[in-house]
Amino acid sequence: MAGGLSTALISLLFAAIAATSPTVDFVDSEYSSVTPSSTSAAASPNPTVPYASDDPNGVLWLPSSDIIPTPERGALGASVLGPQNIPIDLMNADLLAPPTTDNGDIPNVKWPMGLSHNRLQTGGWARQQNIEVLPIATEMAGVNMRLEPGAIRELHWHKTSEWAYILKGNVQVTSINPDGQNFIGTVGSGDLWYFPAGIPHSLQATGDTPDGAEFLLASSEIFDTGAFSEDSTFLISLDWLAHVPKEVIAKNFQTDISAFNNIPSKELYIFPAIPPPDNQQAPESPQGTVPHPFTYPLSQVPITPLNGGSIKIVDSTVFTVSITIAAAEVTVEPGAMRELHWHPTQDEWDFFLQGNARMTLFASSSNARTWDFQAGDVGYVPAPYGHYVENIGNTTLKFLEVFRTNVYQDVSLAQWLALTPPELVKAHLGLSDETIATMKKTKQVVVGPA
């Protein structure tokens, strides 16, 4: 009887297998058509893992769109019934209606300089971004500063280095180094200056343009510590002479105390003055001038043209004094993108100069979030998060990538795959030989529309 029961069970088992065999045959035939032996086919995918979705996930609107934005994408979401800040939602389409490829959580990486408190002075203004407003930006911070013609950013120095990019106008900078060698130079739109930590310097807008100058300060003004505050620099007035007895000052300079009757009692910070002459010369120093200039004419450096844009890279290999900051000036044409990539060890601080951008950050553990950026916004990418920057507007996108390092580095996803054995790539991604063959073995940096 036991044997009969066993036979019956076996018969039922074979019947069940036979009943399901058409489905098994279908799956087998589907995967057998993409076997690794085919030179044009992809490797066999793992049937336990579904394919990535082909759902459309483009940006749904731009800041200039004449709509009332809603948090809806396809069948997902619903309209807003309560109060709505429409201008904010128009500028952040991928926060209100994120792509379905977003997953998990990443701290906020966007800060508009327009939301920073502005410090107004006679002669200009300054506003900053640091970890108080963008907590994820622990490695770098930034300041946006404006000087009217002739206005001076008071003689000062910092605990950290100062890197600057001129947005508009001309600025004359002066400095000396610990060896008593001095420097004077003028920089214009698209040019840079850099002062190492502790090196005293001044900034003065020239009279070359009626509007004076505006610039971006990075790493110690952008300051290379995210906790930096532009309000805590060492100023010659507030932090030095205003707190030294006048008889000590007179003794130091070997002169009469009355010579210092007019020194200010508090900081000057930004103040008006007569614009410097174009041919301003530094006082002749017995020690000579600095061996490495504190300015760099990036505006005069030819661009490296790319498929879909261009790039200029500047680091200590060409701007020798800039030993803690490296940067790239990137342009991306409409529909093109800064390729999928990451930076091995350094956080990336971005400043968007013009256009409309979309950026997704890919962290570990399947976390991914997408943000939209406009001119005047700061972006931040922790190392070594994968990311891209796509031009979603109708005009050229231009932005700065800035890093706290001496040499610019990045890793291209496409180059990595192109230089990995094809069978290994196919086993991971199910790509065909033809697709793998199109991958570039050199970095594309910016790629044009497909």
Q: How many CA atoms lie within 13 A of 387 on its CB side?
A: 29
What is the rounded distance in angstroms from the CA atom of residue 32 to the CA atom of residue 173? 69
> For residue 161, how many C-alpha atoms fall within 13 Å in the half-sphere facing its CB?
21
**Residue 162 burial (C-beta neighbours within 10 Å; 0-12, 13-18, 19+):** buried
CA distances to 59, 65, 137, 371, 372 from 91, in Å: 11, 10, 21, 10, 7
CA distance from start to end of the chain: 70
Binding residues for Mn(2+): 156, 158, 162, 201, 341, 343, 348, 387
In the chain, what are the helix, strand and coil shares in percent, each to the nearest 5?
20, 30, 50
Distance from C-alpha of 445 to C-alpha of 337, rounded to nearest angstrom: 8
The active-site residue, picked from 148, 221, 267, 401, is: 401
Distances (CA, A) of 197 to 181, 194, 255, 323, 422: 16, 10, 31, 11, 48
Q: What is the dihedral of CA 253, 254, 259, 261, to 10 degrees?
A: 70
Residue 300, exposed/middle/buried by CB under 10 A (0-12, 13-18, 19+)? exposed
Following DSSP, what letter does each residue of 32-86 receive, concatenated? HTT-TT-TTSPPPP-TTSPPPP---------TT--S---SEETTEE----S---H
What is the C-alpha to C-alpha distance for residues 320 and 367, in angstroms, rounded to an integer?
38
CB atoms within 10 A of CB 338: 28
Q: Is 401 a catalytic residue?
A: yes
Vertex 41: Cα angle to 35 and 43 (nearest 5):
50
Residue among 111, 152, 108 nearest 128 (CA)? 111
What's the rounded Cα separation, in Å, for the pair 425 and 436? 8
The count of other CB atoms within 10 Å of the CB of residue 163 is 30
* Cα–Cα distance for residue pair 130/226, rounded to 1 Å: 5
- Which amino acid is present at 19? A
Catalytic positions, written as ranges: 401
